Structure 1
């Protein structure tokens, strides 16, 4: 069972890097191009559709790997009564909120692109993508704190 822990950790971190990087890329590189009208609707739909699928696949990976790690490394008492546990719970809440923001933002953007519009749906999705990006940075900081030996 101990050999499984590094595998679960590696898969968890790998998906976290892929997902948060994708959220930041779409929010900070792709969305500004959509707001200016510098990107085609098909390209935008493809990129945002891919982000949506990455978000969904990552959710399954996070449930499996994070659930395994939480079940083997923590008890209810250590999750709710220690600094490390609070960091894990903070990451869980951030993950849920970011996932929701990405789903709402991508839905707004894709529904607008499907009707042939670009700038207006990008403006409608902007606060949700920017919120997801900001919280993604906070999620990475939280993960860094959790990975710091002796912290919390």
Structure 2
């Protein structure tokens, strides 16, 4: 394995964990405070802005590193004709879904907090973040299955 391949694995794993953790933090930590009116608009704007930055950076790095790993390990035939290939395609689908859900959720939070509201934007974003959380956790489950397949356990 080359240094580039090893770096891709490390960067991919670190940002997958950071992204999933930040989505879960927004869903379980920030949104309940916003919906309950226990968070002011300015801190909500700040946290949402930082989430967007981390999320967009993670999405980009996961796409680049995941693309590198898939491109060096799979052909078109192995992507569509093997357990590992199906898992990679599942990850790609979940990646798109998670990115879309969390981007919409964060946008809904930003729109409302820009008007100095917190409860309404929290309610408007909640379902998107909840679905994004489920999707993000499923991404990690599929990653674990892919690791197991790579180790010959599946």
User: What TM-score bracket applies, with the shorter chain setting the length?
Assistant: over 0.9
Deviations along 1:11-36, one digit per CA (max 9) or x if unpaired, are 11111111111001111111111110
Structure 2: how far apart are the matches of 1:107 and 1:4?
Answer: 35
2:2 aligned counterpart, secondary structure? coil
1:1-152 superposed matches below 5 A = 2-148=2-148, 149-152=151-154
Structure 1: how far apart are the matches of 2:101 and 2:129?
Answer: 7
Number of aligned residues? 152
Residues 80 and 151 from structure 1, CA distance in 2 versus in 1: closer, same or farther, beyond 3 angstroms? farther
Structure 2: how far apart are the matches of 1:92 and 1:82?
Answer: 15
TM-score (norm 1): 0.95
Show structure 2 runs of 5+ residues with no match.
none
Show structure 1 runs of 5+ residues with no match.
none
Q: Aligned-pair distance for 1:48?
A: 1.3
How much is the aligned-residue C-alpha RMSD, in angstroms?
Answer: 1.1
Q: Aligned-pair distance for 1:2?
A: 2.2
Q: Aligned-pair distance for 1:60?
A: 1.8
